[in-house]
Amino acid sequence: LEAEQMMEQLIHWVRVDGSGLGRPQLPGDVPTNSMAVPMMLLCLVQQLSEDRRGVEQKYAELGSWCVQQILQHVQRDGAAILENVSADGSELPGCLGRLQNPGHALEAGWFLLQYAAERGDEQIQTTAIQKFVELPYESGWDKAHGGLFYFLDVDGHCPTQLEWSMKLWWPHSEALIALLMAYSQSRKAELLQSFFQVYEYTFSHFPDPAGGEWFGYLTQEGKVALDFKGGPFKGFFHVPRCLYMCERILDDLLASKE
């Protein structure tokens, strides 16, 4: 299978030697554990393993490694998720170490929830809900204008990313999935309330009533800042995945009521 061959290549780059990616290790560049890597690898493990028992077995150790790498991002005695940590899981100095990406944390949250549900692992489920769903939702929500910030600094300083205060479509897509999945697994009413809040903001700001589809990029105040529907980072991915998964979870919730 071609996908599994590519997966072997990816695993080699992530766990053995990343020099084949053409980004030479420069002096002074400390190896970091960036949330994106174990998160997306876990997503691939789940995609390749779905309903295929032999493959599931094959990637079991890798999946567990990804989860441990993701959990390294719980920092400050459990009070914050940090986007970049050192290779051995401690906080990095400077603005790189203080960086938070609430949308990424929420996305990792529902990957962990899926992982926990497949295994009936209540400990990972609890960590996922408290640390990767409730925490980034609380700290990432803009109390003044609504919506999730793109980046934050854990100490409340101004992030160095020029776009830090913008409201992007995908953190909201991921938040909808994460909050609804967390509710369906825990039945905590506050999670459904939070889902409604994100739903209200999302559907009153991102869809384009005139031209269809969603806008991707709003100012902090919620005005459309970039008016295209597709671009270098916005494709047919986060929106359909969000709508499909939320509909499936809502159907299951309704079915379980009957």
Please give the residues from 6 up to 25 whose contact with a copy of itself meets the rule CB under 8 A: 22-24
Cα 54 to chain centroid, rounded = 27
Determine if 84 is a binding residue for a copy of itself (CB under 8 A).
no
Determine if 165 is a binding residue for a copy of itself (CB under 8 A).
yes
Determine if 232 is a binding residue for a copy of itself (CB under 8 A).
yes
> Judged by CB, which is closer to a copy of itself: 63, or 140?
140
Question: Least Å distance between CB 168 and a copy of itself?
Answer: 8
Q: At what angle do helices 102-119 and 169-186 cross, to 10 degrees?
A: 30
DSSP 3-state of 86: strand
> Judged by CB, which is closer to a copy of itself: 136, or 216?
216
> Judged by CB, which is closer to a copy of itself: 133, or 152?
152
Of the residues 41, 217, 238, 245, which one makes contact with a copy of itself according to CB under 8 A = 217
R_g over Cα of the chain: 18
**Among residues 186, 179, 172, 174, which one has the least CA distance to residue 218?**
172
User: Mask of contacts with a copy of itself, 87-116, x by CB under 8 A?
Assistant: --------x---------------------
Question: Least Å distance between CB 160 and a copy of itself?
Answer: 5
Question: Do residues 207 and 192 lie in contact, with contact meaning Cβ atoms separated by under 8 Å?
Answer: no
Separation in Å, CA 218 to CA 6, 227, 233: 35, 9, 15
> Judged by CB, which is closer to a copy of itself: 22, or 212?
22
> Judged by CB, which is closer to a copy of itself: 83, or 134?
83
Of the residues 157, 203, 208, 244, which one makes contact with a copy of itself according to CB under 8 A = 157
Of the residues 47, 57, 122, 231, which one makes contact with a copy of itself according to CB under 8 A = 231
Query: What is the secondary structure of 119-177 as a DSSP string?
Result: HT-HHHHHHIIIIIIIHHHHHHB-TTT-SB-S-EETTSPPPS-TTTT-EEHHHHHHHHH
Question: Do residues 179 and 189 lie in contact, with contact meaning Cβ atoms separated by under 8 Å?
Answer: no
Question: Least Å distance between CB 203 and a copy of itself?
Answer: 22
Determine if 240 is a binding residue for a copy of itself (CB under 8 A).
no
Residue 145 CB neighbours (<10 A): 15
Site residues, a copy of itself (CB under 8 A): 22-24, 26, 95, 157-160, 162-166, 217, 219-220, 225-228, 231-232
